[in-house]
Amino acid sequence: MPVCPDCGSIMKYDHRRSMYVCKNCGFSLTREEWSRIKSSKFKGRDEEEKEDKAREYLAWWLSRKK
């Protein structure tokens, strides 16, 4: 189950929009975007590195949307 990269809440899959949506803050991700965040998050060698990579990816992803 995806966790919101923005606020840390569980995200639910919205079948109508084909996206994961955070019920807490409204943040939404497509499956593809989530799988990219997930792989960037879990490939690091230690916990801190994983966190940094996920944050870097998220920052890049958010800046891309503006």
**Complex with Zn ion: residue 49 or 51, whichever CB lies closer:** 51
Distances (CA, A) of 27 to 15, 20, 33, 44, 66: 15, 8, 12, 24, 14
**Complex with Zn ion: residue 4 or 29, whichever CB lies closer:** 4
**Counting contacts by CB under 5 A, is residue 61 touching Zn ion?**
no
| Count of residues near Zn ion by CB under 5 A | 8
Q: Which residue ranges make up the site for Zn ion (CB under 5 A)? A: 4, 6-7, 9, 22, 24-25, 27
